[in-house]
Structure formats: structure tokens, C-alpha cells
Amino acid sequence: MVRSHVLICGGTGCTSSGSASIREALAEQLAANGLDEEIKIVQTGCFGLCALGPIMIVYPEGTFYSRVTVEDIPEIVSEHLLKGRIVDRLVYNKSDEAGEDAAAHELHTSLNDTDFYKKQKRVALRNCGVINPEKIDEYIAMDGYFALAKVLTEMSREDVVQTLLDSGLRGRGGAGFPTGLKWKFAMGSTGKKYVCCNADEGDPGAFMDRSILEGDPHAVIEAMAIAGYAIGADEGFIYVRAEYPIAVHRLEVALKQAREYGLLGKNIFGTDFCFDIQLRLGAGAFVCGEETALMTSIEGKRGEPRPRPPFPAVKGLFEKPTILNNVETYANIPQIILKGAEWFASMGTEKSKGTKVFALGGKITNTGLVEVPMGTTLREVVEEIGGGIPNGKKFKAAQTGGPSGGCIPASLIDTPIDYDNLIAIGSMMGSGGLIVMDEDTCMVDLAKFFLEFTVDESCGKCAPCRIGTVRMLELLNKITEGKGEMEDLDKLEELAKYIKSASLCGLGQTAPNPVLSTLRYFRDEYEAHIKEKRCPAGVCKKLLSFSIDPEKCKGCTMCARVCPAGAISGTVRSPHTIDTAKCLKCGACIEKCKFGAISKK
């Protein structure tokens, strides 16, 4: 008889910080203490608080241990599991969240008590970190496959599509197209059709799709079968990146189990409906997240986009009517079917219903995944859930939508986040990557980073994207090297306009966004680079010069010893000087100086 479950995160984040060896050590210790019959180890998907991994939760108490190591396991077993005494020192506490002194901490024994969780509303992520994703029975225990049963036995195809339309669900992959509408178009076509899932998550910093596939793969499979029924398709494809080995493995296991249970295959639930799903692995090209390129890649050809129309709902995969939805979109669908369109539509804002998962990254205390109702303000996400900016720095901006999106400056931190508000302020939802930046981030450098990414990832099929983005990058390089002229800003804007309007697919059409939005909100930084040849955040190396304050320098020689270029000279106990001609601007001296005598400007 099992009296306690120990959940250990098996997501990519925690796996890379060693959760697999923790699982083994725990199994060993449980066996050694004769507890293996009473206590069950459950490998789950991502809990969302990746910064604190590896994460372990002990039920029924719900005790939340963070940053667990193999060495901690004997203590957890002998104290907590054997004697019921919670190991306080491993329990997550507020000081971890805020990065404060541990003395002033407030102990949170349960995960649900933390600020990180309290404000969240988990719909797409509801099973992540709760069930074992490799056990179909656990998914069924959480009402899994009941939505499929409901549509097959009680609902007409039109009912299903109408429910989705009423729910107001919009595509979570980036563009925010109403999902029900997409299905309605495909339903209207005749003949062979396909259902596809876009799991080619490519935005730097976004990993919600991976987490859903790793933590709750059956939710996606169930939703695809529902889609198959609604549009009249009997075959589905999941296009997932080969760089997501854990997600691929869990999908394979889940597909096998679903087939064994007859939830995929012929005559599902004794009806006429037949449906099966195949996996296709992508090689990680960003452009393959674009729907036409993705389908071209599934067909076995080079992943390049093609003009639309015809839209996939008319002519998609293998030239047949196809719907393609993103992982997170699918993960919402079984819930909408079971709980109703009104339930879903009661969350969120007028035009953006439901919840959205954000991948918090960058200069933020709680790096991880959060799911909040649409319309939650950026301030709530960053300050309350995300725990604010570490090291007492100030919030400068947040980048949403990755390389296709834009930045939200501090002055707009109270903007409720939904599809339309983000577009209005020059950004976009994108897949939900949210990169937080503090005062040490140079916005010109940031724009350059994203543009470098799109230049690399441009497939090269159309000239505006292939050539235009390179020209823009050259201008940005010029500016960050201190060779920029004011006319370059006009050129950037002009190029951006043409690339946006003339590119073939979404990649090129959105590639200039990071430049345009930083120009809009941080034009003064561009101007400082050009007019004053200065980088206000102290990032652009070519514009920095290092100097030693002779008043503060004690002549300890530390800096001279670490300088890899031999640019620092001076004798013991007298102020040192930097030869700026030799200086590589690596910053090693600043890190070593105990007296704060070295500055970069």
C-alpha cells in the first residue's frame, strides 16, 4: 500500500541539473530502508520553476524541496520519509525567490504557497509536474481521453467546431489566429485531410511546448484526435525538433500506449472514427516553425515556405486540406471540450480568452514557466510571479515574441498582456518567450542579437529577407562599433519597412521588429552610440574604454596579473595605468579589483 508519492521533475531543465541520478539514489535508499513498498517515486514533467531545479515534491504533505543533490537523499529518506520530519534546509523559501539573505526567510513547505504558483492559473500546464507522463493511466485518472470520448459519442463535428469558436481560443504559436475558424475552413474541404502539430519550437528562450510534450504528451494526442474528428481527417503528424530528445521519447511512449488502449487506431470507442499519428523530427531550422515550411519539411523536402494563399486549410500537407496547430493550443482543447466554451471564455480579456504560458528568462529571479490568464500585467508577471530582477537592478524592458517580437519598456510595464495590446505597443505575443532585461542590457546590442539570429535562420528563398536582414545587421554593427551616422537610423527604418512588406513568410515579415521596437522606445540609446560614440549600458565593447582611478588604486598588482594582454602596468603600492591600445576590454581586471578602482565607460 503506497502512502506517499515522491515526485521528481524529469523535464529537460531538471534532467540537466541531475534529476536522473537523484531518482536512482532515492530508489536505492528507499530499498535500503525497506520503504520501497510504501513510497512511490514518480517521474513528472516540468514544474515550471526551473531556476530552482532539481525539484522534488513529497505528497501527501506537498513538501517542496528545491536544488536537491544526491548527497541530500539519505537525509530526506531517513528524516522525512521514515520519520516524518521535514528537512527544513532543503525546503524552498522566499529568500531563494527574492535572492535575499537566508536569515530573513519565510519557509514555504508547499509549492502551492509560493508567490510563483499562487498567481498562476494552470490550464495547458495542469498535468505538468503532477502526473507521470509515461503512464497513460495517470492521464486517464485526470479525466484524460474523456474529451475524446465525449466528442465521439455525444457531439457532432459542427458542435466541436462551434465549441471552439465560442471559447475564443486563438493560436498559441504566435499569430493568434482563431483556432475554431481554422478548423471550420478545413471542415468545409472534402477528401483526404491531415491534422498537424507544430512542435518546432524555435524562439530563443521559449520552452513551453517542450515542457507540455515532456509533461503531458497525451493531452496533445487527445486534442489532435479531436481535431481529426472535427475536420474529418484520419491521419496526423507531430513535427518536433530532434533537439528535444526527452519530448520525442515521451511522445513515442505515449503514442504506443494510446494505440495499445485503442485510443488511436481503428474504430475508436466503437465508432467509425479512425485516427493515428506519426512523428516527424525536424533538424532545428527556425523557418520550419512557419506553417508552409513545416509541411514542406514533413513531405521530405527542404524546409522552405511557399506563398499563401492557398492556405493549408485548402491545400496543405501533400496538397491536401490540413490544419496545423501549436502544442500549447492543443493542450487547451480537451479542457475546453470537458468544461465548456463558457468556462474558457470566462478567463482572459475581451479578445484574448483563456490563459497563456510564458517562458521567463533573462534577468529575472524565477527563471521558468508560468501560466497566467490573458490580461495579466507585465508587472505582475515580472515582479510578483517572477520575483523581480536579481541583485537590486532596475527593470529596463522585456522582449516578447523572440526574434519576431519587440520590447516593452519599463514605462509600459502595467500593460495587460494579450494579443492585441502587444501588437498595439509594437511587440507581439509570439510563442510566449519573455526575456527580462535590466539596466545592464544595451538595447542596440539586443536588436543586433535577434537580427543575427534571423540572418542565420533566413532560409534564403526570398530576397527581402535573405539580403535585407544582412544589410540591417551591417548597419547595426556599424553603430555598435561607433562608426554610425544619424542617416543610418533612417536607412534602418526604410529597410525594415520593405522587408516587412515584401518577405514571403512570417520569418522575414517579422524579422525587423526587434529593431523597430527598440528604435521606438530607446532611440536615445541609438543616438548615444552614434553622436556621443558611447554605449550607455556599457556593453558594446568597441565603445568602451577602461581606466583606473589613481585615487582608489592601492597598487596591489592584482589587475596587472590577470590582464591577458599585458595592458596594465605599474609598480607595487603605486597607482596602475591601462594602455588602451593594448586593452582587449575583456573586463577581467574589473572582476579582480577589490577597491572598485577600475571603471569602463
Partner 1 sequence: MKSLAELAAIREQMKDKVALRTGSGAVRVVVGMATCGISAGARPVLNAFVEEVSKEGLTDKVMVTQTGCIGICQYEPVVEVFEDGKDKVTYVKMTAEKAKRVVEEHLKGGKPVGEYLIGNTKL
* Residue number with CB closer to partner 1 (257 or 399): 257
* Residue number with CB closer to partner 1 (270 or 392): 270
- Interface with partner 1 in residues 300-329 (CB under 8 A): none
Q: Which stretch binds partner 1 (CB under 8 A): 248-256, 267-275, 476-484, 561-569?
A: 267-275
CA distance 103 to 589: 33
**Residue type at 520?**
R
We find the least distance from the C-beta atom of residue 230 to partner 1, in angstroms, to be: 19
Residue 180 CB partners (closer than 8 Å, separation 6+) = 161, 162, 163, 164, 165, 166, 167, 169
We find the least distance from the C-beta atom of residue 241 to partner 1, in angstroms, to be: 30
We find the least distance from the C-beta atom of residue 212 to partner 1, in angstroms, to be: 19
67 binds partner 1 (CB under 8 A): no
515 binds partner 1 (CB under 8 A): no
82 binds partner 1 (CB under 8 A): yes
60 binds partner 1 (CB under 8 A): yes
415 binds partner 1 (CB under 8 A): no
Please list, residue by residue across 469-482, b when 16 or more beta carbons sit within 10 angstroms of its beta carbon and e when fewer do.
beebbebbeebbeb
Per the listing, cell 474528428 goes with 229
DSSP 108-177: --BGGGSHHHHT---STTTTTTTS-TT-HHHHHHTTTTHHHHHHHHH--HHHHHHHHHHHT-B-TTSS--
| List 21, 31, 69, 85, residue binding partner 1 (CB under 8 A) | 85
141 binds partner 1 (CB under 8 A): yes
* Residue number with CB closer to partner 1 (42 or 345): 42
CA distance 354 to 432: 14
Count interface residues toward partner 1 (CB under 8 A): 36
38 binds partner 1 (CB under 8 A): yes
| List 21, 69, 153, 569, residue binding partner 1 (CB under 8 A) | 153
143 binds partner 1 (CB under 8 A): yes
Q: Which stretch binds partner 1 (CB under 8 A): 259-267, 333-341, 547-555, 573-581?
A: 259-267
Helices then strands, counting H and E runs in the chain, come out as 26, 17
Cα 436–Cα 440–Cα 445 angle in degrees, nearest 5: 80
Q: For the chain, what's the residue count? A: 601
449 binds partner 1 (CB under 8 A): no
* Residue number with CB closer to partner 1 (120 or 503): 120
We find the least distance from the C-beta atom of residue 137 to partner 1, in angstroms, to be: 5
3-state helix, strand, coil in the chain (%, to 5): 45, 15, 40
274 binds partner 1 (CB under 8 A): no
41 binds partner 1 (CB under 8 A): no
88 binds partner 1 (CB under 8 A): no
CA distance 174 to 176: 6
The answer to whether the CB of 219 falls within 8 A of the CB of 127 is yes
Angle of helix 523-531 relative to helix 443-457, nearest 10 degrees, comes to 100
* Neighbour count for residue 42 (Cβ, 10 Å): 17
Show the cell assigned to 600: 569602463
Task: List Cα–Cα distances, 76 to 57, 59, 65, 404, 541, in angstroms.
Answer: 11, 13, 10, 45, 48
CA distance 204 to 503: 21
- Interface with partner 1 in residues 482-511 (CB under 8 A): none
Residue 272 CB-half CA count within 13 A = 2
* Residue number with CB closer to partner 1 (139 or 344): 139
273 binds partner 1 (CB under 8 A): no
| List 28, 94, 98, 146, residue binding partner 1 (CB under 8 A) | 146
DSSP 265: B
Stretch 95-134: interaction string toward partner 1, x if CB under 8 A: ---------------x-x-----------------xx---
| List 97, 138, 216, 438, residue binding partner 1 (CB under 8 A) | 138
* Residue number with CB closer to partner 1 (68 or 87): 87
| List 20, 27, 98, 140, residue binding partner 1 (CB under 8 A) | 140
Which of 223, 167, 157, 166 lies closest to 188 in space, CA to CA? 157
Show the cell assigned to 237: 503528424
We find the least distance from the C-beta atom of residue 1 to partner 1, in angstroms, to be: 5
9 binds partner 1 (CB under 8 A): no
4 binds partner 1 (CB under 8 A): yes
Alpha helix (H) residue ranges in 458-522: 463-480, 486-502, 506-510, 513-521
262 binds partner 1 (CB under 8 A): yes
The answer to whether the CB of 375 falls within 8 A of the CB of 387 is no
CA distance 230 to 152: 9
196 binds partner 1 (CB under 8 A): no
We find the least distance from the C-beta atom of residue 384 to partner 1, in angstroms, to be: 23
| List 100, 137, 490, 494, residue binding partner 1 (CB under 8 A) | 137
We find the least distance from the C-beta atom of residue 7 to partner 1, in angstroms, to be: 7
CA distance 560 to 11: 45
* Residue number with CB closer to partner 1 (89 or 601): 89
Show the cell assigned to 555: 597598487
Compute the Cα dihedral for 376, 205, 526, 540 and give only its sign. Answer: positive
We find the least distance from the C-beta atom of residue 305 to partner 1, in angstroms, to be: 40
Q: Any bridge partners for residue 406, and if so which? A: 400
* Residue number with CB closer to partner 1 (63 or 517): 63
70 binds partner 1 (CB under 8 A): no
Q: Which residues bind partner 1 (CB under 8 A)?
A: 1-5, 7, 38, 42, 59-62, 82-85, 110, 112, 130-131, 137-138, 140-143, 145-146, 149, 153, 261-263, 267, 269-270
